[in-house]
Structure 1
C-alpha cells in the first residue's frame, strides 16, 4: 500500500479531486458541471508532463516521467482510508444489522466506484495502459483498484466478524442434536443451512466469504457431531431410509476422511444382515436348494441399489465394502457351519444354476441373461471356485446327457461368463462337453446311413452319445451284461465307430443310459422310464415270472450292492403303482 504524507502548496488540484471523491462516497448529487471539472482536473494533471528524458536509439520515456503516477498513488491511498473509516464504523453493529450494514455499504461503495472511475477515464486510458504495457505488475484501472481495496478489507476484518458471529450461532444450534434417533431431522436442517449460507453470500456478501463460512458449518455441524451421525447411519440402514442416507453421505463427504468410518458401518451392517437372513432360511434350505442362492441374490440386489442410490453411484468407493461383507457371510454362515464343509455355498450355487438352466418355463433371452448375471454375482464371492466347478460339471453332464437343458445356447452363455471371470483353463472341460454335444446329431445321422447301407434292422429305437475321455465326470465302469435285446445295437455301433476311428477306444457307461419300456401284459398300456440296469432286470421277466436274486445277478453280472438297490427301487415303484390303480378302481 502506498501512502501520501502531507500535501504541498501546489496540491489544489488534489483537494478538488478529493472533495469530489468524498462527495461520491456520500452519494451527494453531482451536476454535470462539477463532474466535468473533476474530469478536467484529472486530464490536466496527467497531461502536465515532467521534463522528458530522452534515451538513445529513440526509445520512449518511462511512464513515471509523466504525471499519472502521483495521482494513481493518491487515489489508491484515499480509497483505502475511506474503507478503514467504513470498517471502524461497524464495530458496534451486530447480528442481522451487521449483515444489512455490509449489504448497504457495498452497494453504495460499488456505485461510487463507478462514478469515480468515470471522471478518472483519462488516467485509465493514458497512464494505466502505458504502465501495464511496460511493467504492469499490480497496475489496474481505477475501478478495479477500488474493488481490490474493498476485497482486502473484507478479508481482513468483515469476514472475521461474520464468521465469528456465524460460528457462535451454529454452535448453539448443534448443541440441540443430542440423540441419533433424530438423525433425519438433523440432516435436513444441516443441508438447509448450507443452502441458506450459499444464498446469503450471493445476495449480501462478497464471494470470498463463502469458503470460510462453509468451513465453519462443516466443522461445527458435521465434524463435531460425527459420532452421533455415525450412530444415526446405522439406524437409517436398519430402517431403509435411503433418501436420508444419501443426504448423510453428501454431508459426511464434506469432512476429509470421514467416509472411511461410514464404509465400516455399511460393511458391518450388510454382513450382519446377510448372516441373519441366511440363518432364517436354514430349515427351508434343507429341502429347497434354490432358496439359499435366491436369498443371497436378494440381499446383494438390495444393497448394490443402496450403494448406487445413496453412496456415490456405480463407481462408488463403497462397492469394496459391499464386496467384503458379501464374501464373509456367503462363505461362512449358519448353513455352511451346520454342514461342516466349506464347499457348501459352492454346491448350493451350482444346484441353483442347474435349476435355472433346466427351467422349461417360457423365458426370453433378456431374463435368462439377467439370471445368469445374478448367478455370477454370487460366484464372484465364492472362495472355493474349484469346488463350484466340480459340482457344476457333474450337473452339466446330467443336463446334457439326459437332454434336460432348457437351451444349449444358455449353457454356452453361462460357460462364457465363467470363462470371462476365471479364464480358459477353468472352463476348458466345460467347453469340450458342449462341443461333444454339438457333433452328436451328425454322428447319429452317419450311423443311420451306415445301418441303411449295411441293411441292419434295429428293432429298438436307438440313440447314443459319444463323449471325450477326461472332459466328462464319468470315470467308474461297472461290470454288466447287456440283455440280448440290446446286444445287437451295441455290436453294430461298436463296429461302425471303429471303422471310422481306428485309433479310438469306446468305454461304455451303461449306468448313465436310459430306456423306455412299453408294457404288454396290462389292459392299459404303460410306458416305463427306466435305467439300463432296471431294463435288464425287467426284460428277464419276459421269460420267467419268478426269479431269485442269484439268478438275476447271474444274468446281469451286477454287483450285490447295486443289484439290491435297483430291486428295492423297482419294488417301491410297483407298490406305488398298485396303490394308485386300486384307488382308481374304487372311484
Structure 2
C-alpha cells in the first residue's frame, strides 16, 4: 500500500470513528442516557480513538486527540447555536429565565457525563497540549462552559441580568425564585470556568449584580446548603459546594456555615456511637462517619473536612462517656491478635483502621501503655496468632506517629526474642548438667514494670527444683553479661499472676488436659497427697491469702471440677466433659480490667515534659513564660494533652533541681533562658 492509500485509509478510519462519536454524543445530549454503562462505553470509545493509531509511525499519536477535540468542539457549537436561536425568541423576562434554566440544567448535566467519558482525553492529549504551551486547549467540561458563555450567555447577558433584577423586585413565587437561583448558579459556574481568572467570582457577582440580587443568591445558597446537609442525599453536593464556595468564601472562612455543618455532624456521630456495643462497632461508627458520602463530597475543602475530624476527636475524647474508647480499642485489638483471621487482607485492613482511630485520641500515651500491657500478656500466655501480625500493627502505628511513639512496643517485641533465647539456653543448661525435670518447663523473661500485679505463694514441690535451676542459670548468665558487657545485675522474680501451665488429670471415667494458672496447678497437686482438704488448710499449705485462693478456686468450683462437702473440698472423680482439653485459667485480658498505673504514667510524662522544655529552650535560647507554655503544648499535644499547671509544675521542678542549662531572666523573672 503506497503512502497516498495509507493516508486515505487513515482518514477514512478517523471519520468512521467520528460517526461513532456523534452517535454516542446524541445518546448523551438528546436521549438523556446518563447511566454508568453509557459513561464506560464512551470512555472505551475515546480510549480506542486516541490510542488506536499510536502504532502507526506515519502519523503522530497526538493527531487522533486533536481530531476528537475538534469534533467535540464543533458538535457543542452546533447545539449551542440552536439554543441561542431559541433564546432570541423569548420576549418576556419570566419566559427568558425559564427557557434559559431549562436548557442550562440539561446541558450542564450532559457535559458532566461527557467530561467523565473523556477522562482519557483530558489526562493525556489535553494535558500534553497545555504543557506544550497551548493554553487555549481546555479540559472538556471547561471547554463546554466557555462555549456556552460565548454562544448562549454572551448575546443575552444584559437581558438576563435585567430580567433577574426585575423578577426579584416583583415578589416572585417560589417556582420563579427557584428558576432565578438556577440561572444565578449557571452564571457563577460560567465565571468560575472563564478563561481569564484575574477577578474572583464573588467580586464579579458584586460588579454585575445589585446588592439585592447578590443577597438573594447568598441567602438561598445558605438555605440550600442546610437542606442538603440534613437530607442525607449528597449526590450533587460536591458540584454544588465547589461553585458555591467560589462565589461565597464565607462558606469556608466564616462561622455560620461551619456551625450548621457541625450541629448536624455532632448529632450523627453521637447516634452512631450510641449503637456501638463492641470495639469493632465503635471503630466502624467513627470511621464510617469520617469516610461518609458527606465527608467525601467535602474532600476538596480542607477547612470543612477539618470540622469532620474535630467532631470525631471531640466525640472520642469526651470525658463523660459510659465507655472508655481507649479500653475498647485495646480490647478489640487483643481480640484480633488472638483469633485466626479469615483473610489476611481483611485482617491487615482492620489493623489499619485501629491505627487510624488512634490518631484521634488525645491521650495516645495511655493507649500505648495499655496496648503494651496487653501485648506482654499475649506473649506470656502465648495467645498471639502471629508475631508477624504483632509487628505489622506496630509498623502501622510507627508510620503514623513515629519511632519514638512505638518504642515501648518495639522493646516488648525484642523482649520476646530475648525470652526465646533464654529458653534455648536454659534447655542447654539442663542438658549439660544432666537434669531431668520430668515435665515441660518453659520460663519467659519480661520486664514487668507497672500494670501487672503479683502475689506471693509457695510453689509446689514439683516446680521448686525447676525454678531453682532457672535461678542458678540466670545468675550465671548475669555474671557473664557483667564481665563482657558491663551490664547491671538483673533481678528475677516469678510472676504468679501471669504464670500458667498444663496439667493432666486421671479421673474415674476420663482423662482431661487442663489449662490452669500456676496457683490452680498448685491447688490440684495438693490432691495427690490429700483426698479432701479445707480451704483454710489449702491457704496455709500454699502460703497464700484466702481472697487470692478463693479467686483461683472460683472457676474450678463453677465448672464442678471441685466439689464441696461442708467445709471440705475434693476433686469430682465423676467429672465428665465431651472436650478432653479444658481451659480453667481465667483470661487476664477479658476478666481483669486493663488498669493504668497513674503513678507510672505521671513519671513517664514528667520525663517527656522535662525533655521537651529543655529542647525548646535550647532551640529558642530565650522565651517568655506564656511562649514557653504554648510551645510545650504544641510539641506534646500529639502524645497527650499537657495541662498548663503540669507544665508549670515541671518547669519549677527543673529550676529547683538546679538544671545548669536553664535560668530565669527578664522583668519580674517571667522569662527563661537556655545558657
Report the TM-score, using the length of structure 1 for normalisation.
Answer: 0.60
1:307 is aligned to 2:295: yes
Kept in 1, the 8 Å contact 2:164–2:180? The answer is no
Which structure: greater helix fraction? 1
Partner of 1:251: 243
Q: Which moved more, 1:261-270 or 1:561-570?
A: 261-270
Alignment of 1:5-154 (within 5 A): 96=88
Kept in 2, the 8 Å contact 1:167–1:217? The answer is yes
State the Cα distance separating 1:534 from its structure 2 match.
0.5
Q: For 1:219 and 1:367, how far apart are their aligned partners in 2?
A: 56
Partner of 2:336: 356
- Picking from 407, 419, 430, the partner of 2:386 is 407
- Picking from 155, 160, 169, the partner of 1:166 is 160
Give CA-to-partner distance per residue, 1:168-224, whole Å, 9 cap, x none. 2234667899779x98x987665556678999x99xxxxx9x996896479877752
Partner of 1:292: 282
1:520 is aligned to 2:500: no
State the Cα distance separating 1:96 from its structure 2 match.
3.5
Partner of 1:563: 549
Kept in 2, the 8 Å contact 1:263–1:321? The answer is yes
State the Cα distance separating 1:575 from its structure 2 match.
6.2
Kept in 1, the 8 Å contact 2:456–2:496? The answer is no
State the Cα distance separating 1:264 from its structure 2 match.
3.8
Partner of 2:406: 427
SS of match in other structure, 1:526: strand
Please give the root-mean-square deviation of Cα atoms over the aligned residues, in Å.
Answer: 4.0
For structure 1, the 5+ residue unaligned runs are: 1-94, 100-158, 203-207
Q: For 1:358 and 1:221, how far apart are their aligned partners in 2?
A: 64
State the Cα distance separating 1:393 from its structure 2 match.
2.1
Q: For 2:204 and 2:406, how far apart are their aligned partners in 1?
A: 59
The 3 A distance-change label for structure 1 pair 382 and 212 is closer
Kept in 2, the 8 Å contact 1:510–1:532? The answer is yes
The 3 A distance-change label for structure 1 pair 416 and 218 is farther
State the Cα distance separating 1:268 from its structure 2 match.
2.8
Report the TM-score, using the length of structure 2 for normalisation.
Answer: 0.53
Kept in 2, the 8 Å contact 1:222–1:255? The answer is no
Q: For 2:492 and 2:191, how far apart are their aligned partners in 1?
A: 84
- Picking from 295, 301, 310, the partner of 1:324 is 310
Kept in 1, the 8 Å contact 2:333–2:354? The answer is yes
The 3 A distance-change label for structure 1 pair 298 and 178 is farther
- Picking from 454, 477, 484, the partner of 2:461 is 484
Q: For 1:541 and 1:277, how far apart are their aligned partners in 2?
A: 53
State the Cα distance separating 1:540 from its structure 2 match.
0.2
Q: For 2:535 and 2:347, how far apart are their aligned partners in 1?
A: 49
Partner of 1:270: 265
Kept in 2, the 8 Å contact 1:479–1:558? The answer is yes
Q: For 1:469 and 1:280, how far apart are their aligned partners in 2?
A: 37
Q: For 1:390 and 1:198, how far apart are their aligned partners in 2?
A: 52
The 3 A distance-change label for structure 1 pair 165 and 504 is same
Give CA-to-partner distance per residue, 1:113-137, whole Å, 9 cap, x none. xxxxxxxxxxxxxxxxxxxxxxxxx
- Picking from 231, 241, 252, the partner of 1:239 is 231
State the Cα distance separating 1:165 from its structure 2 match.
2.5
Q: Which moved more, 1:211-220 or 1:383-392?
A: 211-220
Kept in 1, the 8 Å contact 2:184–2:217? The answer is no
* Structure with the greater alpha carbon radius of gyration: 1
Q: What number of residue pairs does the alignment pair up?
A: 405
SS of match in other structure, 2:515: strand
Give CA-to-partner distance per residue, 1:122-160, whole Å, 9 cap, x none. xxxxxxxxxxxxxxxxxxxxxxxxxxxxxxxxxxxxx99
Which structure: greater strand fraction? 2
